Amino acid sequence: MSIPALVAEPPAAAQKTESLRNVCDLPYDVLFELFRHLSAVDVTSLLSTCRDGRKHIQDPSIWQRLCSRYGLRSVAHFGGLPFYVVYTQLLHPYGPLLGLWASDYPYRGNIIEFRLIAGDEHEHGGIIGEVWRFPQTSTRYPVSPEYVRALKIGFDAPFIPSPTPVGADAAFAREVIPKARVYCGVLPPVDDAHWHSTYLEVVPSNSYGYFMQGYRRPFSHPDFPVGDAVWYDTQRGLPRLKPSIPVLVDQRELVRIYPAVRLPIVFASVTPHTKPAGISIHCSSGDDRCTQTYQPALPFDDLSTSPPRYYPLRRDIRAGVNPGDEGWGLETMTGLWLGAFGRYGTEVLHLTWHREQEELQAIKLTGDANVPRGAHSWTLHATSSAPSPPTSTHTGWTSELPGGCLMYSGTGTISERGFPYV
Ligand SMILES: [Zn+2]
């Protein structure tokens, strides 16, 4: 009989299907092309599904390509570490930091900028965080920030491998992978024994905000960010770290029994507005120079105990358009600007063009004791017929600048010290 023989020997086409049932059975160069379209997590998951895949998991060409997505094309200055380690320990967890962040620090706010350095013969590569610092002196024109290194994430600190568990073999010990560490850039170590860590914390969404307790009553500080903040970068995401469980203390009752001589004072409590998840940074040294990098001197006492939270700020920096050019319009002024605020020096603004209202609106990202960060700074009306309603804290104004200027009417915010606006 011929039938049993057909069952025992399937056709050649069926055999081929059987041998390719796992994606790892594809030729490696085909797989490698597939990786182009996958995230690092997907590549790792795919290669982990089979024994043949696992032997390619540290293939430098895979990780070199993923590093190049961040602009890193050489690991020559990463202490001999391969692309695999630099990507998995540094760029994957901390890559979302790259860019600008704005903090909710009361009144003054703060901007920190993270960038990737490839390293050189003097310094290893890594991610550095630099605070924008402006001189606190009266200025007629805005000045560019001084970049102050606050922290670095990398492999510079001496690597202390975890002790090999009893009974583990030499192969296990070889598998220990150096971890990227976050350490202070304000007070660099004098020697290998004096590295101190900086903690980078992912703070989950919560509704805590700041208030000011005045002599008569408390008033709320501007929420930061507000729900529809145009400057907030919704694309960036947060570092891929386990979120903390923040210890947030409602100080509203405590501040009520505070002695009047200690007032006014800033405190933290719940607001009706939920803030998105953010990051906070604090240095383990406890040294004032470290703390002041993130929390520059406040004009009031501050009772709050949690460090400020930073939120991703869109890198909305555009090439300037000459107002004499045909393409100029108020809408071309959208983005980040530096402004001169008299005796408070230079502050950072985000300008937004509101087409329907024909208004250009400026929000403060950094601020001062009179008009704090997060507050509306001014609105400029594109049409002269636009109303400019004066209120207790908003007043109409006009400019009398000499000829050659474009003049618009608008509204601006001024305030007495402490911003008691509600
Ligand atoms: Zn420090």
CA of 202 to the centre of ligand 1 (A): 19
What is the mean predicted confidence (pLDDT) over 46-73?
85
Q: For residue 197, what pLDDT is reported?
A: 86
Instruction: Give the DSSP letter string of 155-172.
Output: S-SPP-PPPPPTT--HHH
Do 110 and 130 meet the contact criterion of CB atoms below 8 Å apart? no
* Phi-psi category of residue 95: left, alpha or beta, with phi > 0 → left and psi -120 to 50 → alpha: alpha
What is the mean predicted confidence (pLDDT) over 224-229?
91
CA of 247 to the centre of ligand 1 (A): 22
Q: Is the pLDDT of residue 397 over 50?
A: no
CA of 308 to the centre of ligand 1 (A): 16
| Nearby residues of 110 by Cβ (< 8 Å), 6 or more positions away | 102, 103, 131, 132, 294, 295, 296, 308, 310, 366
Helices 40-47, 28-35: axis angle to 10 degrees equals 150
Q: For residue 409, what pLDDT is reported?
A: 86
**Distance between CA atoms of residues 212 and 205, nearest Å:** 22
pLDDT in tens, 72-119: 999 999 999 999 999 999 999 999 999 999 999 999 999 999 999 999
Q: Which two tokens stand for residue 395?
A: 């007043």
CA of 195 to the centre of ligand 1 (A): 9
pLDDT in tens, 197-221: 899 999 999 999 999 998 888 999 9
CA of 283 to the centre of ligand 1 (A): 5
Q: Is the pLDDT of residue 155 over 80?
A: yes
**Distance between CA atoms of residues 360 and 353, nearest Å:** 5
Q: How confident is the model at residue 139 (pLDDT cuts 50, 70, 90)?
A: confident
Do 271 and 252 meet the contact criterion of CB atoms below 8 Å apart? no
Count how many residues are written for the chain: 422
CA of 284 to the centre of ligand 1 (A): 6
CA of 74 to the centre of ligand 1 (A): 29
Closest-CA residue to 352 (of 366, 368, 336, 373): 336
Q: Which two tokens stand for residue 326?
A: 């045909």
CA of 309 to the centre of ligand 1 (A): 17
CA of 150 to the centre of ligand 1 (A): 8
Closest-CA residue to 305 (of 222, 208, 223, 216): 208
Residue found by looking up tokens 């991703």 in the block: 312
CA of 109 to the centre of ligand 1 (A): 19
Start-to-end CA distance of the chain, whole Å, equals 96
Q: For residue 164, what pLDDT is reported?
A: 52
Q: Is the pLDDT of residue 364 over 80?
A: yes
CA of 286 to the centre of ligand 1 (A): 7
Q: For residue 166, what pLDDT is reported?
A: 53
Question: Angle 343-349-355 (CA atoms, 0-180°, nearest 5)?
Answer: 135
CA of 186 to the centre of ligand 1 (A): 5
CA of 196 to the centre of ligand 1 (A): 6
CA of 201 to the centre of ligand 1 (A): 15
Q: For residue 401, what pLDDT is reported?
A: 45
Protein residues within 5 Å, CB atom, of ion ligand 1:
184, 186-187, 283, 285, 290
What is the mean predicted confidence (pLDDT) over 150-156?
94
Q: For residue 19, what pLDDT is reported?
A: 57
Q: Is the pLDDT of residue 303 over 50?
A: yes
**Distance between CA atoms of residues 388 and 379, nearest Å:** 9
- Percent of the chain having pLDDT more than 70? 85
3-state DSSP assignment of residue 1 = coil
pLDDT in tens, 169-195: 544 445 578 899 999 998 877 777 778
Q: Which two tokens stand for residue 205?
A: 């969404």
